[in-house]
Every structure is written in structure tokens, then in C-alpha cells.
Structure 1
């Protein structure tokens, strides 16, 4: 049976043409540049975006970069008397245990730097926090990147 001319579009029936158009629109739409949950290896550095979760492979440990508590680091292209510091909160949940919120502080002053915490037999370390602030402007949470390391 021949398809009527009104039901055809460039030699295709309408349904496949519409389906193709929808698939192309979804594939080309801007999405997140990162998965919501990353699988990371134990003992290797990894990067968490602000708001992102990570599961440490084979360790039964979940981390989430929850929030930036403070970022007073000296902005790029600005001369400062003090380098400043950033504080972030990371929630760590070992399998079968209550979550613990860890605070990391990049303050370079003696006794103020707090880059390592221990939870459930794991050591969680903040290696770096990017980007550095710029003037003027604030950094949205999803734009932050925390380089972390988890060891046993």
C-alpha cells in the first residue's frame, strides 16, 4: 500500500522524521559537563566539582563536595598583604555508617591549614581547590574543582 503524499516528508513518513528531529535536539542540547556521580579509584587523585558526588571503587565510601564555606583567597591580578584561605565542606559516607561532614581549610598560617581528615579507616585529603577568585565576581559552586585523594 502506498503512503499518501501528505504523510510523507522528504521521502520519509512523518513519525521517523519527528523521532529523528527529537533525537538530534536532545543530543545537541547543552548538558552537564560532568556526571552527577563519579567512580574514583582508591589511592589516586581525583577532581570533584562543587555539588558532585564520588564513590571510591571497592571501598564502600561516598564523598560529596557540598559547599564552599568561605573563599577569601587573594584574587588573580591583585596584590594582597595576605594570601587568604578557602574553606570547603565535604560529606563522607562510609557504607553502613552515618555521614560525616568534613571541613578543609587552605589557610597557610601555622596551625590553621587543615587539609587531611580520617573517617572510617580512610584518610581524605584536599590537594587543591580551583579556580582562584577573580575581581570582580563570585564563583558559582558548580565551577569549583576540589582535587582530592582517599587512602586507607
Structure 2
């Protein structure tokens, strides 16, 4: 239930989200240097084509200072990361903190770091700490972050990012994404060209099969196989015949949206890039919404 609520909140935010405005003049943060954002504030990463905004959204389950609680939960904050030439992403951070707001990185349930492309973003503090029974207004929160850069990471994919909405993301073979707030990840294992099915029209000349592994903590990898027909620019067409570009796994849907380059004998498997989405709303196995 918590996962569904989180997905719904993120989807609502993403649906009404505007593109990031330019960061105010001089409002820049250097790599590997902590910076603090107030809710609604944006900052540019110095010398990088990336901007971060702390959204006016939170979910705070920490036990207030002067309240007796059976247990204290985490606080969740969301940022928007805009990268030039990439889809805007909306990672959610979940963290337990001390009463000063410092993130307890080793506390069970803390998920305070995400990697999106070459950028590793870590939440290190959340303020204020709750007191009394009145909730803290969303626009009063501040988050402290550190952004580092992995020089070995691919810059043309979204490998390692945390997925918590239906926003498309890009992966190559061998890369994976994780699901925010869940012990799950999806890894691309490979892409194969398939003959065009009898009776079907394949604008690109072939169908395609994308092989994945659903990775769950403490369990064996679960193999997935999404198949579809790309049109002339690589966009995967809706399900037809026995081809299925959508699969429902553990309450989340994995959808194959696009394949580049077009499948064919001349394509090197290492060159394939897949556009995918993780969908939180339950659908039928063929990808259609329930009535």
C-alpha cells in the first residue's frame, strides 16, 4: 500500500511539473561540496549541464521531539534533476535522521543516495525536525545534498538511477535501475532481433526481444522478456499477436518504449539503447489498463 501511495504522489507531482527554471545568478554548487536547498529552490551544478530543485513535497514519519512514539519512521524528500539532453527525473530520498536532522546513513530503511547517469546524489540532512503534533508545512523543509561524478559512468544512459515515476529512462545492456523505496532493481541483459511475425507489418524489417532480470533482495534473479515491433524511428508499437512490450512484476509494470538502433543483423548488441518505464498503476499483462 505504501508503494502505491508513493507512486501516486510522485505521478501527481510529475503530471503538473514544469520544466526547471534557470538557477538564479550565482546559485551554483560545486561537485563534492555540500549545499542546502529550501523547498522550491533550484541550484545549478557548476560546470555541469545539470540543475537540481527541491520539490515542495515531503512525507515525514519521524517521531516528534516531545511526543511518545512506539517507533520513529523515515522522512522522504523529492528533487527534480534536469540534465541537458536527457529526460527530467524525479528521485525520492528516504532517510532516518537524528534530532539535528543529520541523515543516519546506516539506519535500516534509509535510502539516501541515488545515481543518475554519471551523477551520484546523496541526501545528508533534512530540517527542521518535527516537534509537537502539527505537521511541518511542505515549503518549510530544507535538504542538504552532495553531488559527485563517476568518471567511468556512461553519460548517454540513466544507469543506476532510482525510479519512482513513469518518466522514461535509457539503459544499455548490462545496466540497471533501482526502484525507490523497494528492494528491487531491473537490469538489461541483452537485445535480440526477431523475424517479423507472420501476418504482421514491421516498418523496421524486424521485431525485437529485450531480455531483463528482475532483481529482488534475497531472491534469485527473475528473467523477463519483452517483445515488440519498432516503427521506423525505433518507437515500439502497441502489443500485437504474441508480442508483448509490457510485463507486470510484483505490482510494477515494465514497459519497453523504444529501441535504438533499429534491430537487424548489422547492429552490434553493445550499441543498443532501450527506452523504458516503470509503471506503478496495475495493468493487464498486455499493457491495457483495467476497466
Same fold? TM cut 0.5:
yes
Offset at residue 67 of structure 1 (A) = 3.2
The one of 66, 85, 88 aligned to 1:77: 66
Instruction: Identify which of 67, 77, 91 aligns with 2:80.
Output: 91
Aligned: 1:120 with 2:117: yes
Name stretches of at least 5 consecutive residues in structure 1 with no aligned partner: 1-35
Aligned equivalent of 1:22: none
TM-score scaled to structure 1, two decimals? 0.70
Give the corresponding residue for 1:106.
95
Q: 3-state DSSP class of the match of 2:114?
A: strand
Q: 1:83 & 1:114 partners in 2: Cα distance?
A: 16
Which 4+ stretches in 1 moved above 3 angstroms? none
Q: Choose from 139, 142, 149 the match for 1:142.
A: 139
Return the alpha-carbon distance in structure 1 between the equivalents of residues 133 and 115 of structure 2: 36
Q: How far is the alpha carbon of 1:101 from its aligned partner?
A: 0.6
Higher RCO (CA < 8 A, seq sep 6+): 1
Aligned equivalent of 1:47, options 36, 44, 47: 36
Q: Does the Cα contact within 8 Å between 2:39 and 2:140 map onto a contact in 1?
A: yes
1: CA distance, partners of 2:128 / 2:50: 26
Deviation at residue 134 of structure 1 after TM alignment: 1.6
Give the greater-gyration-radius structure (CA): 1
Contact 2:58 2:138 in 1 (8 A): no
Q: C-alpha separation between the residues in 2 aligned to 1:52 and 1:150?
A: 16
| 8 Å Cα contact 2:127/2:142 also seen in 1 | yes
Q: Offset at 1:84?
A: 1.5
Cα displacement string for residues 70-122 of structure 1 (whole angstroms, at most 9, x for unaligned residues): 11111122232212211111111112211111010014763x21100011201
- 1:57 deviates by 0.7
Structure 2: runs of 5 or more not aligned: 1-22, 97-103, 150-291
- State the match for 1:21 in structure 2: none
The one of 55, 63, 87 aligned to 1:66: 55
In the alignment, the residues of structure 1 paired with residue 72 and residue 28 of structure 2 have an alpha-carbon distance, to the nearest angstrom, of: 33
Question: Aligned partners of 2:129, 2:137: CA distance in 1, in Å?
Answer: 12
- Over aligned residues, Cα RMSD in angstroms? 1.7
